Amino acid sequence: MSDKPATAKVKGTVSVKPEVCKGCAYCIEFCPTKSLEFSQSFNRKGYHYPVLARPETCTGCDLCGVHCPDFAIFGRRLKPGEKA
């Protein structure tokens, strides 16, 4: 067994709108690859917002976006050769 973290075969990334986020953490909880974490900083409303802490494991499945009640995060697949 390797100690290296699992890298997703399908590459994805997320777009976050920090100022819309209200810090409910649904996106973090429902991400199947645990790629998201809360930011260290706060948005203007005083909430931590999600950041893609482990981009190498994101598949772009958009389950984070599906569960966000405020449309503050979207996941998408990267095109072949596209960098996140």
DSSP annotation of 4: S
- Answer for which of 1, 21, 39, 79 binds ligand SF4 (CB under 6 A) is 21
Q: Which is nearer to ligand SF4, 12 or 81 (CB)?
A: 12
Start-to-end C-alpha separation, the chain: 28
Measured CA distances, 9 to 42, 56, 68, 77, 78 (Å): 32, 9, 25, 11, 11
Binding to ligand SF4 (CB under 6 A) within 22-81 occurs at 22-27, 31, 33, 35-36, 49-50, 58-64, 67-68, 70, 72-73, 75
d(CA 34, CA 22): 19
Site for ligand SF4, rule CB under 6 A: 12, 14, 21-27, 31, 33, 35-36, 49-50, 58-64, 67-68, 70, 72-73, 75
